[in-house]
Amino acid sequence: MYFEQFYLGCLAHASYLFGSEGEAVVVDPQRDIEIYLDAAQKQQLQIRHIFETHLHADFVSGHKELAARTGATIYIGKAAGATFPHIAVGDGFELRVGKLRIDVLETPGHTPESICLVLTDEEKSLAPWAALTGDTLFIGDVGRPDLSTTHTPQQLAGLLYDSLHNKLLTLPNDVQVYPAHGAGSLCGRNMRSERSSTIGTERLTNYALQIKSRDEFIRQLTTNLPSRPEYFFEDAAINRAGAACLADLPELTPIPATELKDMLEHDAIALDVRPAEQFAAAHVPGSINIALSGQFASWAGAVLGTAARLVLIGETPEQISEARTRLARVGIEDLPGYLEGGIEGWKRAGFPLAQLQQITVQELSTRLQGGGLQALDVRREAEWQAGHIGGADWYPLDRFKAALPHLEQNAPIAVHCKSGYRSMIACSLLQRAGYSVINVIGGFDAWEQAKLPTVALQMQ
């Protein structure tokens, strides 16, 4: 049997290709599907089957295009309400691919239609080898239960408890666990960084599996949930129908600076994808910086939404092309084009550039002691509670789309996150709104490395 995991760091998303005797299966494909086609060709496999473990909310799947390109059949849980050609599956469904047996488990909880796949390589053993657990069971965590329009979080959390204890935890301890997401995904809140585990390891170490009472599980899973990005429901709806082929999207066109200036005065948003240092040194006034180096697509979806009309600003054609693909992965497709000539093109047109001040943590400490400076922490709640700068305000970046924080306008605001990536996004959004902002270089990591004082709160 051939088995491969494809991990997309930008979305903390894991997809899978496996096969036997010339026939292959893809599970939870990302939107740009060439990686599966290339890998299958190298392994001399034909992709005949595509499984979706659920209607993904944090990214747009490539299942429809992959099926069109290969003739493969798509399988998805009965409760999905999918409108593309598919086979609805549930408990008892079995598929044989060469010497490989795939058994479907209905595991509602993260979503009503969630399924898990149990793989048995009968060439080696009649015992199950692995479980592809989608967003039901993560490494160190379980799926969030608030992504349904038909069930309350409490109802889904109860279903999730039942799915875990009555289905997945009945598997042998040595069964490998391969989830659809890793650390950093908003589909959970406490994932570890490993890409796989075992049922036995999760049974002993996963906090959610230590909760023995169903009622207590429901309480803990529905308390202090991280903010749910607006685009999650939009992506789930796209996946229910199936997304358009990437090749069908219109090509991006170069937009002269004079034209961009006019567009920015109407409904367009300039999205600068360059590194934070370059953005801080010089950028188009009012533009938003989300650098390609981090979880670019997730944050673009979270703070801008899928309906945003974006004009890209980059330094190279490669940056523009990469940004286009990564935005499409979360369903952001309204891209009129990109700034012709980049920042240099804006300068040549005679238009002014904006800057954004940055300071070190040592400078921040000194200025906070002297007064006249506010500190704003934009990390998530668990990070804030584990340790933060005394006197700092807290407002997580994932809430900025709903409303910007209420801050005093009479003093500069020093913004920090863990390492500096999220804080620059927040700074650009606040600067766009008229605030005087300063980015803290290195964020809270640098603050701790400098052994500056911190405050911790008791987790509720």
C-alpha 279/C-alpha 272 separation (Å) is 7
Residue range 188-215, pLDDT digits in tens: 877 999 999 999 999 999 999 999 899 9
In a domain, 457, yes or no: no
Asked if residue 380 belongs to a domain, the reply is yes
- Same domain? For 420 and 329 the reply is no
- Based on the fold, state whether residues 188 and 70 are members of the same structural domain: yes
Domain boundary among 299, 314, 348: 348
The average pLDDT across 172-185 equals 95
Do 48 and 181 have their domain in common?
yes
pLDDT in the model for residue 105: 98
Judge contact between 280 and 291, C-beta under 8 A. no
Q: How many CB atoms lie within 10 A of CB 352?
A: 9
* Count of positions (residues) in the chain: 460
Q: Quick check: is 264 in a domain?
A: yes
**Does any domain span residue 298?**
yes
Residue 144's domain is classified under what CATH number? 3.60.15.10
What number is the average pLDDT over the span 154-180? 98
389 and 440 part of one domain:
yes
Q: How many Å separate Cα 288 from the centre of its chain?
A: 19
Query: Per-residue pLDDT tens for 94-122?
Result: 999 999 999 999 999 999 999 999 999 99
Give the Å distances, CA to CA, from 427 to 74, 145, 227, 279, 424. Answer: 43, 31, 20, 11, 5
Q: Is 182 left (phi over 0), alpha (psi -120 to 50) or beta?
A: beta
Cα–Cα nearest to 354, from 258, 445, 289, 421: 289
- Does any domain span residue 279? yes
Q: What is the DSSP string of 38-73?
A: HHHHHTT-EEEEEEESS--SSS---HHHHHHHH-PE
Structurally, how many domains does the chain consist of?
3
Q: Cα–Cα distance between 413 and 218 in angstroms, integer?
A: 39
Instruction: Decide if 459 is inside a domain.
Output: no
Give the pLDDT band of residue 408 (cuts 50, 70, 90). confident
Closest residue by Cα to residue 57 from 119, 130, 112, 118: 112
User: Are 205 and 175 found together in one domain?
Assistant: yes
460 part of a folded domain: no
Q: Mean pLDDT lowest for which of 9-13, 50-54, 68-72?
A: 9-13
Give the domain extent around 373.
357-449
User: Which segments of 167-241 does DSSP mark as H helices, in order?
Assistant: 199-205, 214-221, 231-241
Q: Which of 18-27, 57-66, 403-412, 413-422 comes out lowest in average pLDDT?
A: 403-412
pLDDT digits (tens, 9 = 90+) for 254-294: 999 999 999 999 989 999 999 999 999 999 999 999 999 88
Mark whether 237 and 313 lie in a shared domain: no
User: Does 430 fall in a domain?
Assistant: yes
Residue 294 sits in the same domain as residue 404: no
Q: Which residues pair with 77 in a beta bridge?
A: 89
pLDDT > 70 fraction of the chain, expressed in percent and rounded = 99
What would the mean pLDDT of 408-430 be, rounded to a whole number?
95
Residue 405 to residue 153: CA distance in whole angstroms = 26
Residues 91 and 50 in one domain: yes
Radius of gyration of the chain (CA): 23
Q: What is the pLDDT of residue 104?
A: 98
Shared domain check, 344 and 407: no
pLDDT tens, 301-337? 999 999 999 999 999 999 999 999 999 999 999 999 9
- The residue among 281, 315, 348 that closes a domain is 348
Determine the pLDDT at residue 231. 94
Q: Using one digit for the tens of pLDDT, what is the confidence trace for 211-254?
A: 989 999 999 999 988 888 999 999 999 999 999 999 899 899 99
Quick one: average pLDDT of 345-366? 97
Q: Compute the distance between CA of residue 29 and CA of residue 53 in angstroms, rounded to an integer.
A: 10
Which of 319, 348, 377 is the last residue before a domain boundary? 348
Statement to judge: residues 25 and 142 lie in one domain: yes
pLDDT at 457 over 90: no
Task: Label residue 233 left, alpha or beta by phi (over 0 means left) and psi (-120 to 50 means alpha).
Answer: alpha
- The CATH number that applies at residue 334 is 3.40.250.10
Average pLDDT for the chain: 95
Distance CA 89, CA 49 (A): 13
Is residue 413 within 8 A of residue 435, CB to CB? The reply is yes
Q: Would you call 146 helix, strand, or coil by DSSP?
A: coil
Q: How far apart are CA 307 and CA 231, in angstroms?
A: 9
User: What confidence tier does 458 reach under pLDDT thresholds 50, 70, 90?
Assistant: low
- Does 226 lie in the same domain as 277? no
Asked whether residue 301 falls in the same domain as residue 420, the answer is: no
Instruction: For residue 460, name the pLDDT band (cuts at 50, 70, 90).
Output: very low
Whether the pLDDT of residue 459 is over 70: the answer is no
Does residue 144 surpass a pLDDT of 60?
Answer: yes
pLDDT, mean of residues 37-54: 98
